[in-house]
Structure formats: C-alpha cells, structure tokens
Structure 1
Amino acid sequence: MKHTVTIRDVAKKVGVSASTVSRVIANSPLISEETREVVRKAMEEMGYFPNAVARSLANAQTRTIAVVMPSSAELAFQNPFFPEAIRGIGGVTSEQRYDLLLLTPVTAEDEYRETLRVVKERRVDGIIFLYSRSDQKVLAELAEMGFPQVLIGRPLEDLPLTWVDNDNIEASRSVTAELIRLGHRIIGFMSGPPNFVVSQDRLEGYKRALADGGITWDPECVCSADFLEEEGYRAAGKLLDGRPNLTAVVTMDDIMAFGVMRAARERGLDLPRELSLVSFNNSPLAQHMTPPLSSVEIQAHELGATAARLLLSQLELQQATSEHCFVQVSLVRRNSMAPVKFL
C-alpha cells in the first residue's frame, strides 16, 4: 500500500518541526521566506497537499463547534469542572452566534471515530477537547488535516495545534511544598487516571516538591482513581490502610477529596489535626465541607472561555494555528491544612 505523505514526513525531510510546516501551509508571517521556500519545495517533491477539509472551511461553515467530553455525559457532569468549562465556552461562542455540539465518547476509539465523523461530514467548523490523554490519536490526524482545534490541557506530543492549560506541574509542586513547610514529611498523592496528561503533570509537581524538600519519593504513598467521589473513597481506603502514618494527602480533584474525607473519618482520623488535605478545582462545595477544604482555584470557566476565543480566532483567520497559553491558578486556603502533629 502506498504511504500517504503527512506533515511529519515533510518536517523530517526538511529538518524542521511539524508546526513549522503547518505555519508555512497557513502562510504565517512568523516563518522566514528562506524556510518557506525549502518547505514548499519539499512538499512538491514528496507530493504532499494540504487536506481538503481545511481548504474548504471558508466555503462550508456550519456555525457549530464540537465540544468533546472525556466520557459519557452522565459521569462527566458529576464533576463540576466540565459543566463550568462548557459554561465558559458557551458564553463566548453564543455571542458570535455559534452552536455547540457535545460529543460524549466512552472509549478512546469512540472519540477517534465520532470526532472524525463530524469533521468529514462537515457538521462542525472547529473542535474543543476538554481534556488531554496520552492515547489521543485523533489530535495528530486533525493537525495533519489543518482542521481548527483547541485542546484544554497540554498535549504529550509536539503537535501543531493550539492548547490552553494551567501550569499543573508548578501548581502541584507549590501545594505540596506548602504541606512540607507545615512540617509534613509523609505525604500521599491521589492521582487521576494515569493516561490523563494532567495526572502526569501534577504527579511530577508532587515529586519535584518532595525532592526539593529532601524527601525520598515513596511509590506506596501514591494511588490513582477516576474523578468521582466513590472512586476517591475507594482509593483512599487502600492508601490509608497501606500507609497509616500519612499526615497529609494531595488529591487531584475536590470530588475525589470528598471521598478521602469520608474514608479518613471511618478510620477515626481527625481532619486536619491528624490528616491534612489539599485539592484542586475549588468546587462550590469545597467551602461547605467539614472542615472547609483547601483547594487550588484552576479557573475552569476561564479555561473554557479562553479555549473558545482561541478557536474563534482560527475560524476568523480561516486557518488552524499552533499556540498555547496558561491560565493562572491560586490556592484558596481553608481549614483542611494544618501543621503536622508531632507525636
């Protein structure tokens, strides 16, 4: 079977990044004329032509944007992050008279198949993904098509696409360092699903804080769970039973943290005197927990709004772009964190 030439093939031949080739195709002023000529010559020699989907964008507008959820709507909407991000997206797109089409694939293969279907059927003008996974192969295919897309989250690969995220490594490092400052030395970490890039980044930040504090990372202090309270409760039970000397836990998400609180109380632990807890997302219920939960405000609404603005900019330019930006975070301190209790 004849190999289909892709942007990556052209980039490899010329010795530049795939994003540079993408910018040449888009006539970006950021690319020098010398590089532009070399890339175009390679494209001609290799028989590469930009996908027709991107070229027909200006003539086939639907005024509809697809928003891809991480799982079924029933599960995703149990976590406040996703409806808040969608609210941010909708607030921007509605002003420009765009409709939203929600895609709720259950598996990675479902995501790949459903996303390409709506693109090839010309049902949407652009796509926003609400999450980044290590097995998200559809991103590369859309990038090769030159189809407008924005990812909320950092892609693992160096792909020519636009994304917006928090600096999750630094945020996790910072909150873990705060626990260390309070005297905690045996600190647990509850990750989200390991194939989510946000899980990998926040675990990396946790490890960096431990290293900075002279604490050896112990894999037995780390567990993972889905972003649901029951999953957090289940994982916390195993973590606390396996390491009863933990004095603090960092969790990936408030909903998971609520499950940690329940598991800790069932084991007779007083929060925060015997177990400090800090989380992410600053959901509305965090301040009403007992004790009120310290949590990192990641600005889910602004992440969604920024993603929408970046995508609309691509649609106005009638070309895909490759850029990224970070939305700032802040720790909202409440009563779930306290100095370590020395016995």
Structure 2
Amino acid sequence: MAITIKDVAKAAGVSVSTVSKILNNSGSISQNTINRVNSVITELHYTPNSRAVSFAKGSTKSIIFLTALGKEEAYKNPHMFDIMCGAYRELSKNNYTVTLMDTSTESYPGETVNKVISAGSADGIVVHGSALNDKTADFILSKNFPHVVIGNPGFDNQLCWIDTNHTLGGQFAAEHLISCGYNSIAFIGGRKTDTISAQRLKGVRSTLLKNGHRMPKEYIVYTDSSRESAYTAALDLLALENRPQAIICENNMIALGVVKAIEHSDLQVPEEIAFLTFDRYPYTSIIDPSPTIIDIDVYDMGQQAGITIARKLENPSLLVQSFTTLPILIRGLTT
C-alpha cells in the first residue's frame, strides 16, 4: 500500500499541515521539526504527489497549447507540430506538462480559452496563430492570464507574442538571387490576403528596389497555394515574352507546381530558369533538383515560446513582442 502524507505525519508526530508546509518550503517551521520529518520521509520512502504539491502552491504545473486541429491540419500547417515539440521540450525542463487543445470545433470564438481560464486548469497558455481571434485576445487580456502567442497578431495589442521576421526572409531570398546574378525575379505567393506571403513579398520587392531592380506587376502572382494553381501560374510566367530569370516560391507546395511547369516548358535549371522556395518541410526532399531554401527553424521558435511563457509566469507584468529565430539560407542546385 502506498505511503501517504498522513503516514508521514503520524510517524513524525506532527500534523498533516506541518508536513505539507515542509514539502512546499512554506511557513515557519523549526529546523529540528524539518529534520525529523525529512528523516521519516526517507525512512518510509515517501514520494510526494506532484499534483498535490502543485495544488498546495496554487499551481497546476500545466500549460495549454491552443491550436486549430481540423482535418488534414498536418498538411495545411506542418510547422505547427514542430513548434509544439519545441515548446514541450523547453517546458518539460521546468516540470510543466503540456496539454494540446483544439479550437476548430468551438461553438463561438474564444470558447476554449474562456473555459481554460475560468476553470483554472492551467498556469499559462501558448496560443498558435491559427487559434487566435479578437475574442480570444480580449479574454486573455481581460483576465491578465500568462500567455504567449506564436505569430505576430497583426493588430495593435498588449499580447505577448513571438514570430519570425518573414519580411527579412524575403530580403534574404532576393539578396541571394541578386548575388547569383539574377535581376529579373518573379514571386509566386499564396492568396493576396495571406499575411506571411505578403510579408515575404514585401521583403523581396524592397530589396530589389534597393538594388536598382524593378519587379513588373506581371511577375507577382497569387495562388491558393495548391500545386495545381502554382503550376498554372508558373506556366504563364514562363510563357511571357520577357520571362523572369528566377522564381521565388512562397512555400514548397507552390515549388512542386513550379517544378512541374519548368519540366513541361523543357527548361534547364538553373541555366535557363532558377528558383528557390521558403521552408524545408514538408516537400523539398522530393523536389528534383534539390532546391535552394530560405528556412525557419520553427522548433527553435517553439523553444522560444516555452522560455517566454516561463518568464511570463515568473513576472506577470512582462510584455514580450519580438521577432526571433532568424531565417537561414540552405544552398541547393536550383540557383
């Protein structure tokens, strides 16, 4: 039968509350009593229940990772899982458990975070950008609840958030192509309303202008980020009388379509057309030739989120709003 705190208290000749105070390093207890209780704990091989200890301290030692988990989410948002793994690794170092919660079936915006905070079931919350909306943000701020948001919310706020600088990623892409001798560069992005795509395009255009190169409007193409729409968009670009020397693909699903269009157009890479893509996962390993990539270490971003929420728990007044995890260039055979 498992030894309980009551067994320890009885053997040490003290109250249960005294044992609890010693376990939690709280209260004014004489050193002799502390030594006696610790001796009994060792003798009886008593292991305190971590949940009970956390409860006594007013802590759950639990962090909620809030995200949307709709059907085929792993394909639509593959980075989210690497982010979650990085956050888990960092938080587990501090003995926190991480619980994944889904917002895709909410009956009203903010329902999940409302329940989490109202029930006191977690010490803090990591909010993936896919789960953030105005209602969720307002409720977190109204309760002054420890949190960190993955991704810049894109509106004025008092939220804690971290993100990678996608505009800088666009600059890196353009700078690399210019250094390779390309100055006629096209961009195939996601939907026109896609924030990340818009930020990457902004970085590309500003760098081209800085270096004295203009990007014609026909060189900027928007898609639904599917392979099929990217294929069609790339065919149109490659059929232009003054076709671009290089194409920047906003993600590697788009890159799959671009590769197909290049093959259809019977062009040699990189001699006749060059391209690069953002993000290493999930498809760059099957693209031939091996593409040049502007990549983000999203696992590290998850770790930074874990560090930030831990700091927020120690200092509730802390406000962190920063870009972290620099983009890196992985040189392939397509530039």
- TM-score, normalised with respect to structure 1: 0.69
Q: 2:101 maps to what in 1? A: 102
Counterpart of 2:276 in structure 1 is 278
- Letter matched to residue 290 of structure 1: D
Asked whether the 8 Å contact 1:132–1:196 carries over to 2, the reply is no
Please tell me whether Structure 1 or Structure 2 has the larger radius of gyration of its CA atoms: 2
Summarize the Cα distance change of 1:106–1:262 in structure 2 as closer, same or farther, 3 Å threshold.
Answer: farther
CA contact (8 A) 2:301 2:325 kept: yes
In the TM superposition, residue 84 of structure 1 has moved relative to its aligned partner by 1.4
Letter of the 2:150 partner, please give it.
I
SS of the residue corresponding to residue 184 of structure 1 reads coil
Identity %: 22
Alignment of 1:14-53 (within 5 A): none
Match of 1:25 in 2: none
Residues 293-329 of structure 1: CA distance to partner in whole angstroms, max 9, x if unpaired? 1112311110011111111221233556334242122
Change (3 A) 1:170 1:118: same
Q: Separation in 2 of the partners of 1:266 and 1:58? A: 67
Change (3 A) 1:239 1:178: same
Letter in 2 for 1:177: E
Indicate conservation of the 8 Å contact 1:69/1:76, yes or no: no
Bigger mean CA offset, 203-212 vs 67-76: 67-76
Equivalence for 1:258: 256
Task: Give, in whole Å, the separation in 1 of the partners of 2:292 and 2:159.
Answer: 34
Q: Decide which of 114, 119, 140 is 1:142's aligned counterpart.
A: 140
Q: CA 1:183 to 1:319, structure 2 compared with 1: closer, same or farther past 3 Å?
A: same
Contact 2:188 2:247 in 1 (8 A): yes
Q: Are 1:160 and 1:322, in contact at CA under 8 Å, matched by a contact in 2?
A: no
Q: 3-state DSSP class of the match of 2:301?
A: helix
Quick check: 1:112 aligned with 2:107? Answer: no
SS of the aligned residue for 1:292 comes to coil
1:98-128 C-alpha deviation (Å, 9 max, x unpaired): 1222325279x86534333433343433222
Of 158, 161, 168, 2:159 maps to 161
> CA RMSD of the aligned region, Å?
3.2
- Cα–Cα, structure 1 residues 279 and 158, in superposed 2: closer, same or farther, change >3 Å? same
Aligned match of 1:238 = 233
Per the alignment, residue 215 of structure 1 pairs with: 213
**Inter-CA distance 286–233: structure 2 relative to 1 (3 Å threshold):** same
Counterpart mapping for 1:149-228 below 5 A: 149-225=147-223
Unaligned regions of 5+ residues in structure 1, if any? Answer: 1-56, 338-343
Aligned pairs, number: 277
Cα 1:241–1:92 change in 2 (3 A) is same
Cα distance change, pair 309–111 in 1 and its aligned pair in 2 (3 A): farther
How far residue 59 of structure 1 moved from its aligned partner, in angstroms, is 7.9
Q: Deviations over 1:28-84 (max 9, x none)?
A: xxxxxxxxxxxxxxxxxxxxxxxxxxxxx9986443333233562523345542221
User: Which structure 2 segments of 5+ residues have no match?
Assistant: 1-54
Q: Are the counterparts in 2 of residues 65 and 127 from structure 1 also a CA contact under 8 Å?
A: yes
Judge conservation of contact 1:248–1:277 (CA < 8 Å) in 2.
Answer: yes
TM-score by length of 2: 0.70
Q: Deviation at 1:205?
A: 0.3
- Tell me the residue number matched to 2:312: 314
